[in-house]
Amino acid sequence: GENVEQHPSTLSVQEGDSAVIKCTYSDSASNYFPWYKQELGKGPQLIIDIRSNVGEKKDQRIAVTLNKTAKHFSLHITETQPEDSAVYFCAAINTNAGKSTFGDGTTLTVKP
């Protein structure tokens, strides 16, 4: 089955700095890669996603890159703000099989 590794497990940055979270996956059949943000006491919320036929996608301060050959994808947050503090999860999905495999999460702390 699919295995997703996520690094780092914790990340602390100063407000205004950039943050990068990386994930690797094992199943070459995975073709969809979403990222989720989970705030304390809430369910994960989709923040950005990328499909296997795209190398990069950007939405304001958030971007995701995908390297299919190396089987890794990354989340980039620029100009971080204290409200970006949360747990971030990556996932890899084979859309034909219908199930998601998640990374173990990264706790991001943005210090004001």
Partner 1 sequence: NAGVTQTPKFQVLKTGQSMTLQCAQDMNHEYMSWYRQDPGMGLRLIHYSVGAGITDQGEVPNGYNVSRSTTEDFPLRLLSAAPSQTSVYFCASTRKGGYGYTFGSGTRLTVV
d(CA 62, CA 46): 12
Q: Does 89 bind partner 1 (CB under 8 A)?
A: yes
Q: Binding residue for partner 1 (CB under 8 A) from 43, 60, 70, 112?
A: 43
Question: Whole-number minimum distance, CB 21 to partner 1, in Å?
Answer: 13
Strand-pairing partners, residue 87, are 38, 107
In whole angstroms, how far apart are CA 102 and each of 2, 5, 29, 80, 88?
9, 8, 15, 24, 10
Give every CB contact of residue 60 below 8 A, 6+ residues apart in sequence: none
Task: Select the span of 21-29, 37-45, 54-62, 63-71 touching partner 1 (CB under 8 A).
Answer: 37-45
Tell me the β-bridge partners of 110: 13
Q: Does 40 bind partner 1 (CB under 8 A)?
A: no
Q: Does 53 help bind partner 1 (rule: CB under 8 A)? A: no
| Integer Cα distance of 12 and 25 in angstroms | 24
The least distance separating partner 1 from the CB of residue 15, rounded to whole angstroms, comes to 26
What are the residues binding partner 1 (CB under 8 A)? 1, 6, 9, 31-32, 34, 36, 42-46, 49, 51, 89, 93, 95, 98-105
